[in-house]
Amino acid sequence: TQKGVDMKIGVDLVQMSMRKDFDTAILISADSDFQYAVEKAQEADVKVRLAYFQGSSINKDFQKSFDGIELLHDDLLDKCKM
């Protein structure tokens, strides 16, 4: 059971953005609960891109909050399998 993982990812995104650890972040998620963290990272001048797999149901307002969007294909997952 994973408890609080989304919250931890969101907090890490904001903290690392504020420290200027990177200039671009890529979030692989369809969960609009990340929207506030995305906005805060962008306030720290970090570009945040959304990556998602075909068939994911993503809120349109959530999509609009990103600096770019990338569609990931299932063959990528096949390449990552062990």
pLDDT at 37: 97
**Mean pLDDT for the chain overall:** 91
Q: Could you read off the pLDDT of 41-76 as tens digits, one per residue? A: 999 999 999 999 888 899 999 999 999 999 988 887
Picking from 12, 3, 57, the residue whose alpha carbon sits closest to that of residue 34 is 12
Q: How far apart are CA 46 and CA 42, in angstroms?
A: 5
The secondary structure of residue 15, as a DSSP letter, is: H
- The residue-averaged pLDDT of 6-31 equals 95
Tokens 């294909």, residue located: 73
